[in-house]
Amino acid sequence: MVTVRQLLDRKGRAVFSIGPEDPVLEAIQLMADHFIGALLVMKGEELVGIVSERDYARKVILLDRSAAETPAWQIMSAPVHTVSPESSMDECMRLMTDKRIRHLPVVEDGRVVGMVSIGDLVKAVIEDQQRTIEQLEGYIHS
């Protein structure tokens, strides 16, 4: 089974973040600019939370708050569930399902080194299944 490290090697390790005092509007703009659904909330090198489109919808729009005036820390989810680079895709999918989350920061030696989404995991599973099918077809035809 593929590990998170292998998945990050394929997809890249870019991590986008915002500070806890930054306005939610800035977070939403950054997510839109990079076509992502969540941002890490970082205080320097310390991971303090995660803010997602879902947080914005539920904690800003539905409560009729101002995205320009609300700081990220007021809507972020914390504590953040994380995984290590050695975690398996199965472990990640199980954690995401159990906690009803879609994004997992990857932490190694206390530092954030990447992030995986449910979409990343589904894509990796499909690729693995396709490789298995191709190998089985090759075996059958030989």
The structure's pTM equals: 0.87
Give me the CATH number covering residue 119. Answer: 3.10.580.10
For the segment 114-131, the average pLDDT, to the nearest whole number, is 92
Q: What is the pLDDT of residue 51?
A: 98
Q: What are phi and psi of 47, to 5 degrees?
A: -80, 115
What is the domain extent for residue 100? 4-141
**CA distance linking residue 20 with residue 52, whole number of Å:** 13
Structure tokens belonging to residue 118: 């449910």
Residue 138 has pLDDT above 80, yes or no: yes
* Lookup result for tokens 């320009």: 68
Q: What is the pLDDT of residue 142?
A: 80
Domains contained in the chain, number? 1
Give the whole-number percent of the chain exceeding pLDDT 90: 85
Model confidence pLDDT, tens digit, residues 65-95: 999 999 999 999 999 999 999 999 999 999 9
* Lookup result for tokens 């947080």: 55
Q: What is the pLDDT of residue 53?
A: 94
Q: Which residues of 21-45 are buried (b: 16+ CB within 10 A; e: fewer)?
A: ebbbbbbbebbeeeebebbbbbeee
Model confidence pLDDT, tens digit, residues 23-48: 999 999 999 999 999 999 999 999 99
